[in-house]
Chain A
């Protein structure tokens, strides 16, 4: 039973446009959410996180939104660049323990 879901296995976006990656979770005890970016044959790289006491966190071109009532978070990348093409993983944890990862969404940014 997946506690963290990413229902879109892949997403294609034109360069310069907005990329929106979605993530849903089932465990209301999760209080810390993260997004990671992964290139093939490399480890995931931490992108951005958000605590459950916030509904938005922004870092440069990356913004994460959290809707606790819907148990949904999203990652917005604006503007999208070809170097953003990678697999993006959503993850959640309870008080910094037991990180649970979603299956990932492959983003392709087309020039």
Chain B
């Protein structure tokens, strides 16, 4: 079955530690996205990538980093510079620009601070 896999489902971070959230898709989608959701709020865009080896900052990129070395993979690193990392993180993919096709989402990773 095609889809998006996020791992782990739950993640704990210690103060001053970097953690990496995994996102893999087998939908052959060109574009991939990372969103953050805080309680009672909508989805805010962290980073997105329209093509391999290219990515752009979203609305709240500070304290985060990404890479897009393979079409299938778009890992997100939450660095120690992100002072309020506790949130639900969602990865999505879509066919990309010039195609009116929906984004498809993974099941999310919940990150908490120890």
Give the interface of A toward B (CB within 8 A). Answer: 9, 31-32, 34, 36, 41-46, 49, 51, 89, 91, 93, 95-99, 101-104
Contacts and interface: CB of A to CB of B under 8 A. Distances in A.
A44 B98 contact: no
Contact of A32 (B33, B35, B100, B106): B100
Contacts, number: 65
Given A31-B100, A49-B100, A98-B45, 20 more contacts: A34-B102, A36-B105, A41-B88, A41-B107, A42-B107, A43-B4, A43-B6, A43-B105, A43-B108, A44-B43, A44-B90, A45-B105, A46-B104, A91-B103, A96-B100, A97-B97, A99-B45, A99-B92, A99-B103, A104-B42
B86 interface: no
Contact of A41 (B40, B48, B104, B108): B108
B108 A89 contact: no
B42 A51 contact: no
B84 interface: no
A30 to B, nearest CB: 11
